[in-house]
């Protein structure tokens, strides 16, 4: 038997690709502590913290407006499945974490979809999961975006809803009959 035949099969690791953007990146270098375009391998049971405190967080943002510990990612295997995924938990008492359209308050957590946008303050992060088989390790790879990803996709952060529950900043969809009745009611049409 040749050495090639007896060598263990190499497992691929699940990789979380994180593209980051901040409008003041050029001036303030808020991502200077991150290593771009390099896969960083982590143990599967690591709780990966992101924030300002370099003594507690694995990945740091150099910005006084970021919480000491902003959020954490946890790698996991889906129940009754061979698929792996990530969950994200907001660890900031000051800032809400927005995952796609879900707004997470302190200690709230959700499973990350395969591709999603995570925002807090002026920070935008596009997270994309690339599947793998290893149950011992996963990887994170950072990329830097020079432009706003929300603007690229014509997205915006959700607007806060007042306590009355009525938000009047966006047009409401109506069919033609409702639109005609509304116009008559408002006195626009006789």
pLDDT in tens, 104-123: 999 999 999 999 999 999 99
pLDDT level of residue 150 (50, 70, 90 thresholds): confident
Integer CA distances (angstroms), 165 to 41, 105, 170, in order: 45, 19, 14
Closest CA to 127 of 109, 107, 142, 146: 142
CA distance 187 to 1: 90
Cα–Cα distance for residue pair 177/170, rounded to 1 Å: 20
pTM: 0.75
Q: How far apart are CA 131 and CA 152, in angstroms?
A: 26
**Are 120 and 92 in contact, with CB atoms under 8 Å apart?**
yes
pLDDT tens-digit series, residues 39-57: 999 999 999 999 999 999 9
Residue 177 is predicted with a pLDDT of: 43
* Domain covering 11-156 assigned CATH 2.60.200.20 in the classification: yes
pLDDT greater than 80 at residue 183: no
pLDDT at site 53: 97
Q: Which residues contact 57 (CB under 8 A, 6 or more apart)?
A: 49, 50, 51, 68, 69, 70
75: nearest Cα among 135, 12, 142: 135
Confidence of residue 167 (pLDDT cuts 50, 70, 90): very low
Instruction: Tell me which of 87-101, 114-128, 136-150, 156-170 is least confident.
Output: 156-170
- The model's pLDDT over 122-139, given as tens digits with 9 standing for 90+, comes to 999 999 999 999 999 999
What number of residues does the chain have?
A: 190
């Amino acid at each position: 038997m040749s050495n090639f035949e007896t060598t263990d099969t190499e497992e691929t690791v699940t990789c979380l690709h994180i593209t980051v953007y901040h409008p003041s990146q050029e001036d303030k270098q808020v991502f200077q502590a991150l290593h771009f375009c390099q896969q960083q391998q982590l143990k599967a049971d690591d709780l990966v913290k992101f924030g300002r405190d370099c003594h507690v967080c694995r990945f740091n943002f150099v910005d006084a407006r970021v919480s000491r510990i902003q959020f954490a990612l946890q790698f996991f295997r889906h129940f009754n499945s061979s698929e792996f995924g990530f969950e994200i938990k907001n660890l900031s008492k000051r800032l809400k974490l927005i995952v796609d359209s879900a707004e997470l308050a302190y200690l709230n957590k959700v499973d990350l979809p395969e591709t999603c946008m995570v925002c807090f303050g002026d920070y935008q992060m596009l997270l994309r999961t690339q599947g793998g088989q290893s149950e011992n390790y996963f990887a994170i790879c950072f990329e830097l975006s020079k432009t706003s990803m929300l603007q690229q996709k014509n997205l915006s952060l959700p607007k806060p809803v007042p306590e009355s529950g009525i938000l009047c900043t966006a047009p409401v969809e109506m069919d033609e009959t409702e639109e005609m009745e509304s116009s008559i009611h408002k006195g626009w049409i006789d």
